[in-house]
C-alpha cells in the first residue's frame, strides 16, 4: 500500500489475516498509521488488501441531502449561489472589471434548471439571480477599493451606505446610475447593460435613473433622459412616467427654481400644474400658467399675496402691465 500525503488514518479495532508472501508494507511519506487490533481477510490471488472495516471519510465544506430516486437535488426556495474562488485582478484606471468569460467556469443555463423537477417555472428567475450576483460582486469589490482610496469625487459626495451584493435588481440599477452612469455596456456597472440583461421596462429605467441623478444634482442628465427627437431633426421633452412625479423628485432634491419651473410647465393638465406649482412654491410656474390661461383676475389675486419688491412680485406686475396680452373678459 502506497500512501503519499500527510494523512493520519486510524484503523483501530481491525483484525487482519494477510497471507502475502513477503508481508511487507511500503510507506513513502510522513504517515502515521495505527494498525492495532485490525481484522482483515485477504484472499485475493495477487495479495491485494481488502479493507472491510469502518472508514471515516471527511468531505469538508460540502453539505448534501439527496433523497430523490434519481439523485437530483430539488431547490425549492432561497437559492444561495456562491461565487467564491473567483480570481479578480482589476488594474484599470477606474477599477472596474470588464465583462469576460472566466476560464474553466461554465454558467448554468436555463435548460439546466428546467431539467430539475420542481424548477421548471422558476428556471428563468434563478438564472437571472445568478447573473445579478455575478455582476454585483466585481462592482462591489472594485467600488470598495475606489472609495477607500478616495480617487473619485462621487464617492466623497455620496458615500456608499451598504454593499449591493444580494440586493434586488432595481436597487442595483439605482446604485449603478449613481456611481457608474456613463459606463459602456461591456462593463459590469453599466446601467444600460443591467436594463438589457434583466429586461427592465422603460418606465423602470427612467424612474430609477431620474431619482439617482437628481440625488447628485445632475440636472443635465435628467434633461437628457426626457429629451427625444422630434420632427425635422428637432427635439422635444417626453416622459413615460409623466412630469408630475418628476417635479416632486426635483423639488425634494433641491432643484433650482428655473429647473423646477421648466418641468412644472410640462405638466399637460393645467389645473394639476397650478396645484403642483402652488404646492412646491414655484411662483414662476404659477405666473406663467395664469398668463397662458389669460386669467387676469387669478393673477391679480396671486400678485397681492407675493412679498412686495421681491423678484416674483416684479415678474407678476410686469405681466399684468403687458398690453399685448388679451385677457379673458
* Per-residue pLDDT in tens (0 to 9) along the chain, 329 residues: 343 333 333 333 333 333 333 333 332 333 233 333 333 333 333 333 333 333 333 333 333 433 433 333 333 333 333 333 333 333 333 444 444 433 334 455 545 545 555 655 666 777 788 889 999 999 999 999 999 988 888 998 899 989 999 999 999 999 999 999 999 999 999 999 999 999 999 999 999 999 999 999 999 999 999 999 877 778 999 999 999 999 999 999 999 999 999 999 999 999 999 999 999 999 999 999 999 999 999 999 999 999 999 999 999 999 999 999 999 87
**Phi-psi category of residue 86: left, alpha or beta, with phi > 0 → left and psi -120 to 50 → alpha:** beta
For residue 190, tell me if it sits in a domain. Answer: no
Q: What are phi and psi of 130, to 5 degrees?
A: -65, -45
For residue 113, tell me if it sits in a domain. Answer: no
Q: What range defines the domain where residue 15 resides? A: 1-44
pLDDT at 111: 52
Reduce the DSSP state of residue 194 to 3 states and report it.
Answer: helix
For residue 199, tell me if it sits in a domain. Answer: no
Number of domains forming the structure of the chain: 1
Q: Is the dihedral of CA 190, 196, 199, 203 positive or negative?
A: positive
For residue 5, tell me if it sits in a domain. Answer: yes
Distance, CA of 147 to CA of 150 (rounded, Å): 5
Q: What are phi and psi of 221, to 5 degrees?
A: -65, -35
* Pairing of β 235-237 and β 32-34: unpaired
For residue 25, tell me if it sits in a domain. Answer: yes
Q: What is the pTM of this model?
A: 0.63
* Pairing of β 8-10 and β 235-237: unpaired
Distance, CA of 191 to CA of 180 (rounded, Å): 7
DSSP code at position 209: H
Q: Distances from the Cα of 293 to the Cαs of 116, 268, 297, 306, in angstroms?
A: 65, 13, 11, 20
Amino acid at each position: 500500500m502506497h500512501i503519499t500525503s500527510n494523512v493520519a488514518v486510524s484503523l483501530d479495532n481491525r483484525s487482519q489475516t494477510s497471507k502475502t508472501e513477503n508481508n511487507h508494507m511500503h510507506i513513502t511519506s510522513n504517515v502515521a498509521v495505527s494498525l492495532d487490533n485490525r481484522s482483515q481477510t485477504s484472499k485475493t490471488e495477487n495479495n491485494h488488501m481488502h479493507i472491510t472495516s469502518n472508514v471515516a471519510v471527511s468531505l469538508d465544506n460540502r453539505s448534501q441531502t439527496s433523497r430523490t430516486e434519481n439523485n437530483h437535488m430539488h431547490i425549492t426556495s432561497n437559492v444561495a449561489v456562491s461565487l467564491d474562488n473567483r480570481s479578480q485582478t482589476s488594474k484599470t484606471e477606474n477599477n472596474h472589471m470588464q465583462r469576460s468569460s472566466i476560464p474553466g467556469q461554465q454558467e448554468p443555463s436555463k435548460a439546466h434548471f428546467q431539467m430539475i423537477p420542481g424548477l421548471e417555472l422558476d428556471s428563468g428567475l434563478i438564472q437571472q439571480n445568478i447573473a445579478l450576483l455575478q455582476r454585483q460582486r466585481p462592482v462591489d469589490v472594485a467600488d470598495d477599493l475606489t472609495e477607500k482610496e478616495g480617487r473619485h469625487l462621487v464617492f466623497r459626495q455620496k458615500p456608499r451606505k451598504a454593499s449591493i451584493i444580494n440586493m434586488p435588481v432595481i436597487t442595483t440599477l439605482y446604485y449603478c446610475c449613481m456611481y457608474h452612469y456613463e459606463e459602456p455596456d461591456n462593463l459590469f456597472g453599466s446601467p444600460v447593460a443591467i436594463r438589457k440583461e434583466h429586461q427592465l421596462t422603460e418606465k423602470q429605467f427612467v424612474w430609477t435613473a431620474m431619482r439617482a441623478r437628481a440625488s447628485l444634482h445632475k440636472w443635465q442628465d435628467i434633461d437628457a433622459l426626457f429629451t427625444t427627437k422630434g420632427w425635422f431633426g428637432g427635439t422635444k421633452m417626453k416622459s413615460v412616467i409623466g412630469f408630475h412625479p418628476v417635479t416632486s423628485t426635483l423639488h425634494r432634491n433641491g432643484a433650482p427654481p428655473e429647473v423646477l419651473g421648466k418641468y412644472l410647465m410640462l405638466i399637460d393638465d393645467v389645473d394639476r400644474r397650478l396645484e403642483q406649482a402652488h404646492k412646491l412654491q414655484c411662483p414662476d410656474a404659477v405666473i406663467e400658467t395664469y398668463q397662458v390661461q389669460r386669467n387676469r383676475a387669478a393673477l391679480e389675486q396671486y400678485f397681492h399675496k407675493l412679498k412686495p419688491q421681491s423678484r416674483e412680485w416684479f415678474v407678476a406686475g410686469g405681466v399684468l402691465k403687458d398690453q399685448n396680452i388679451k385677457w379673458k373678459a
